[in-house]
Amino acid sequence: MSVLIKGGRVITAADDYVGDVYAEDERITLIGESLDVQADRVIDAAGKYVFPGLVDPHTHLDMPFGGTVTIDDFESGHVSAAFGGTTTHVDFCIQPQGTSFGDALEQWHAKREGKAIIDNGFHMAVTDLRDGGSLEELASLPEQGVTSYKLFMAYKGALMVDDETLFRTMQVAADTGALVMVHAENGDAIDVLVKEALAAGHTEPKYHALTRPPETEGEATNRAIQLARVAGCNLYVVHVSCRESVEPIALAREKGWDVWGETCTQYLFVDCSYLERPDFEGAKYVYTPPPRAKENQEVLWGAVRGDVLSAISTDHCAFLWNGQKTLGRDDFSKIPNGGPGIENRLHMIHEFGVRAGRVSLNRMVELLATNPAKLFGLYPKKGTIAVGSDADLVVFDPERKVTLSAATHHSKVDYNLFEGTEVTGTPEVVLRRGEILMEGDELVAKPGSGRFVRRARFGEELTSRAAAVM
Ligand code: URP
Ligand code: ZN
Ligand code: ZN
């Protein structure tokens, strides 16, 4: 199968030119001006942008959490991702306590089998180094292409680890070259605040934010940075939501320490007042860290513009409002934590980042594709448009207007965080390894065609040849 994408405006993190992109057997083999080649399929991209397929480094598909399971599995989540221009994601394999890492990985591989449409890797979420996983087994994961370890510093009594587990994992990462990712919140302090709020009879969704003040995120971010320094590992702070967490990351990066961070689309748009929406609608915005006071949004835009934060992910962790979020109707601490977003990251950042003049097109591609690919061992196979890279491509119509809505999105979730938002610009054709996944409003991809990607270690490149021998 060969594809020629003709006359589009090709935009990578570094380049911006009008040209043709030709792909054969899954990879880009030629890029040039007015290429004189035959192809099985020619796509006229005149007046359109051509982006590399986007990479989402933070998602939770088919994940047991909060007494239920996230509503999007590896099929519905992937369809939704494809319609938003995302062709690769890295999902969290959660080690059930008392289970080995190998068994956890087996469970997560089974979840994607026969369903996957886009390509994906796994991070290993370490929950237990005593009764389940061993340090030796943890150290062997990068050989299987699982080159990042995630630790939750919150969710006491569920996923939270103590500082010993965090630090020991960091020491293993320093040896193996894996990247350590942290959910940075002080879970002990939050647990006290939640108990106090409930004892005082405060049960509404807004108490989700009031019991997780930004200082608890700032403290944990700083703690993780300092411990990573002692252990000598590379650190990535997920879903940064506020000034208190941006500042220690900025300081660390200024000093040249090996620290990176991401924010997520929702923190740039949703503020804590959404939690007060009547009739339990506020529960739609119960994700963690919580939506913050509005002034944090400009802090986050400044951080993504200035490279304090290197990526924007979605943290797609979708629960139905009706039937799942309602588990916490009488107690905010029982509302499953998480929000949807895998489909609308590009829509929102293009509209309110690029079109509003906050970030350039190149920087948008860097934040949504190239940096996630580089940080998570997927580059240059993924995350750019270059000869030899996978033909993961988004032909984007910058003129077409769409309204974001649960009525039209492809996730199974029954609400949209950005309901009713009008944007100009949407993917028109999305290709993964040269195969068309969606075109216009039609899904073309077949479930089971997405592949597991064995990722390179932090700082190493993932070429097709390297991927084949790993
Ligand atoms: O509320 C959230 N973010 N749920 C998903 C788990 C996590 O903390 O990332
Ligand atoms: Zn988290
Ligand atoms: Zn998450």
* pTM (two decimals): 0.98
Assess contact for 286 and 275: CB atoms under 8 A: yes
Of ligand 1's listed atoms, the one at least distance from the Cα of 60 is 5
Q: Which of 123, 275, 287, 417 to mutate to test the pocket of ligand 1 (most atoms within 8 A of CB)?
A: 287
Assess contact for 342 and 83: CB atoms under 8 A: no
Of ligand 1's listed atoms, the one at least distance from the Cα of 155 is 8
CB atoms within 10 A of CB 321: 16
* Of the candidates 225, 291, 235, the residue with the CA atom closest to the CA atom of residue 264: 291
- Using the mean position of ligand 2's atoms as its centre, give its distance from the Cα of residue 183 in Å: 5
pLDDT at res. 466 = 66
pLDDT at res. 417 = 98
Chain centroid offset of residue 156 CA: 23
Q: Which ligand is nearest to the CA of 92?
A: 3
- Using the mean position of ligand 1's atoms as its centre, give its distance from the Cα of residue 111 in Å: 19
Question: Please, which residues bridge with residue 160 across strands?
Answer: 152
Residues with beta carbon inside 6 Å of ligand 1? 60, 183, 287-288, 315, 317, 337-338
Q: Which of 91, 275, 337, 413 to mutate to test the pocket of ligand 1 (most atoms within 8 A of CB)?
A: 337
- Using the mean position of ligand 3's atoms as its centre, give its distance from the Cα of residue 59 in Å: 6
Q: Which ligand is nearest to the CA of 65?
A: 1
Q: Which tokens belong to 4?
A: 């020629």
Of ligand 1's listed atoms, the one at least distance from the Cα of 286 is 1
pLDDT at res. 465 = 60
Of ligand 1's listed atoms, the one at least distance from the Cα of 238 is 9
Residues 385 and 366: their CA atoms lie apart, in Å, by 12
User: Mind listing the pLDDT tens digit for each residue in 101-151?
Assistant: 999 999 999 999 999 999 999 999 999 998 877 999 999 999 999 999 999
Concatenating the DSSP letter of every residue in 407-418 gives TT-SSS-S--TT
Q: Which tokens belong to 232?
A: 């000598």
Burial of 99 (C-beta count, 10 Å sphere; 0-12/13-18/19+): middle
Nearest alpha carbon, ligand 1 atom 7: 288
CB atoms within 10 A of CB 2: 17
Output the tens digit of pLDDT for each of the chain's 470 residues: 999 999 999 999 999 999 999 999 999 999 999 999 999 999 999 999 999 999 999 999 999 999 999 999 999 999 999 999 999 999 999 999 999 999 999 999 999 999 999 999 999 999 999 887 799 999 999 999 999 999 999 999 999 999 999 999 999 999 999 999 999 999 999 999 999 999 999 999 999 999 999 999 999 999 999 999 999 999 999 999 999 999 999 999 999 999 999 999 999 999 999 999 999 999 999 999 999 999 999 999 999 999 999 999 999 999 999 999 999 999 999 999 999 999 999 999 999 999 999 999 999 999 999 999 999 999 999 999 999 999 999 999 999 999 999 999 999 999 999 999 999 999 999 999 999 999 999 999 999 999 999 999 999 999 766 665 55
Residues 305 and 205: their CA atoms lie apart, in Å, by 32
Residues 199 and 196: their CA atoms lie apart, in Å, by 5
Nearest alpha carbon, ligand 1 atom 6: 338
Coil/strand/helix, residue 11: strand
Q: Which ligand is nearest to the CA of 339?
A: 1
pLDDT at res. 468 = 58
Q: Which of 190, 315, 333, 342 to mutate to test the pocket of ligand 1 (most atoms within 8 A of CB)?
A: 315
- Using the mean position of ligand 3's atoms as its centre, give its distance from the Cα of residue 269 in Å: 17
Question: Please, which residues bridge with residue 390 across strands?
Answer: 27
Residues 33 and 123: their CA atoms lie apart, in Å, by 39
User: Mind listing the pLDDT tens digit for each residue in 180-205?
Assistant: 999 999 999 999 999 999 999 999 99
pLDDT at res. 130 = 82
* Of the candidates 232, 254, 241, 391, the residue with the CA atom closest to the CA atom of residue 315: 241
* Of the candidates 170, 164, 71, the residue with the CA atom closest to the CA atom of residue 413: 71
- Using the mean position of ligand 2's atoms as its centre, give its distance from the Cα of residue 184 in Å: 8
Nearest alpha carbon, ligand 1 atom 5: 338
Nearest alpha carbon, ligand 1 atom 2: 338
